[in-house]
Amino acid sequence: MSPAVFRFWNLRVVIHTKDHKPAHIHVIGPDAEIKFALGTWEVIDNNGFSQKASNQIREFLKPRESEFLEAWNAIHKD
């Protein structure tokens, strides 16, 4: 399991060390996981979050995008 780069509500934001481009984050909850592409904030994959929850998570995290991109670049030094 990859370490969380951010925690909020009952969710963890994770960037896996051995992951693929484009830069993205995984948001993991007790019974659901969603993956957002950084930059566009499109949903790459959603397993269990409602559309309403997905939108709320996106809007909460978007202001922290530069933080997540820094973490992605630090983890995935190319």
**Residue partners of 13: CB distance under 8 A and separation at least 6:** 4, 5, 6, 7, 25, 26, 27, 28, 61, 68
Residues of the chain below pLDDT 70: 1, 3, 78
Are 25 and 59 in contact by the 8 Å Cβ rule? The answer is no
Q: How far apart are CA 58 and CA 78, in angstroms?
A: 27
- pLDDT at position 1: 57
What confidence score (pLDDT) does residue 4 get?
75
pLDDT for the residue numbered 37? 96
